[in-house]
Amino acid sequence: MQKVKDKYFKTLIPAVDIQAKVTEIANLLNTDYADKNPLLIGVLNGSFIFLSDLFKCMKIDCEVTFMRVSSYESLRSTGKVTQIIGLKEDISNRHVLIVEDIVDTGQTLVNVKEQLAKLKPASLKVVTLLNKPEAMLKPLPLDYVGFKIKNDFVIGYGLDYDGLGRNLPDICVLAD
Ligand code: 5GP
């Protein structure tokens, strides 16, 4: 049991299982994107640890950048999605992989995909470490998914609770 701010969390996915899954996803990408020089775009802040581990397992030519959206506050999604910020790269004709920490309602991703699609990438696919299928508002193609989890609040491995808990090596879930 781990106390973060005023709440207790317990391990849901241990670090060793996360690393195995990250390697598995990277291997798929190494095959699917060989000779495509994909651009991996991390959605900040939550994806930075996942993307960093994933990137280290990539054996093909590939590039990385980050962008930001703000749509989530504290324990629940606000549903309000603002525009994407901070993407300086020209993504036209590039093979783009959006890298997310978690797809919850899917609102963020719908918005990000819409905006990136306008910039005319050669292809646009999604990699997410976590997905909460029960929370998704409408079906959305997720091309590479690490773990499907229940509709519970999780932290660790980049995910926060009010800014804290991102540094936990395991993915942890709110204990009741
Ligand atoms: P969506 O738009 O899919 O509802 O939410 C996406 C964003 O909400 C994620 O990128 C993440 O920042 C945040 N989020 C969704 N579920 C959780 C969760 O269980 N824990 C944390 N820490 N953030 C979450």
Q: Going by C-beta distance under 8 Å and a sequence separation of 6 or more, which residues neighbour residue 13?
A: 147, 149, 170, 171
* pLDDT > 60? residue 111: yes
* pLDDT > 80? residue 168: yes
Q: 104, 110, 126, 160: which to mutate for ligand 1, most atoms within 8 A of CB?
A: 104
pLDDT of residue 23: 98
Angle at which helix 48-56 crosses helix 15-32, to 10 degrees, equals 60
Model confidence band, residue 71 (pLDDT cutoffs 50, 70, 90): low
Ligand 1 atom nearest residue 46's Cα = 12
pLDDT of residue 78: 53
pLDDT of residue 79: 54
pLDDT of residue 85: 84
Cβ-count burial 88-116 (b if 16+ within 10 Å, e if not): eeebeebbbbbbbbbbbbbbbbebbbeeb
pLDDT of residue 107: 86
Write down how long the chain is.
176
Q: What is the pLDDT of residues 42-57, one digit of tens each?
A: 999 899 999 999 999 9
| Mean pLDDT across 3-20 | 97
* Cis amide bond preceding 131, omega within 30: no
The binding-site residues of ligand 1, defined as CB within 6 angstroms of any ligand atom, are 46, 71-72, 77, 100-109, 153-155, 159-160
CA distance 170 to 55: 19
pLDDT of residue 36: 97
* pLDDT > 50? residue 129: yes
Residue type, 90: D
Chain-centroid distance of CA 89 in Å reads 19
Residue 152 known to be catalytic? no
Chain-centroid distance of CA 163 in Å reads 16
Q: Which residue has the higher pLDDT, 111 or 170?
A: 170
- CATH number for 16-149: choose from 3.40.640.10, 3.30.70.1290, 3.40.50.10540, 3.40.50.2020: 3.40.50.2020
Distance 35 CA to ligand 1 centre (A): 32
Nearest protein Cα to ligand 1, atom 23: 159
| Mean pLDDT across 76-95 | 78
* pLDDT > 70? residue 80: no
Distance 108 CA to ligand 1 centre (A): 9
* pLDDT > 80? residue 167: yes
pLDDT of residue 74: 45
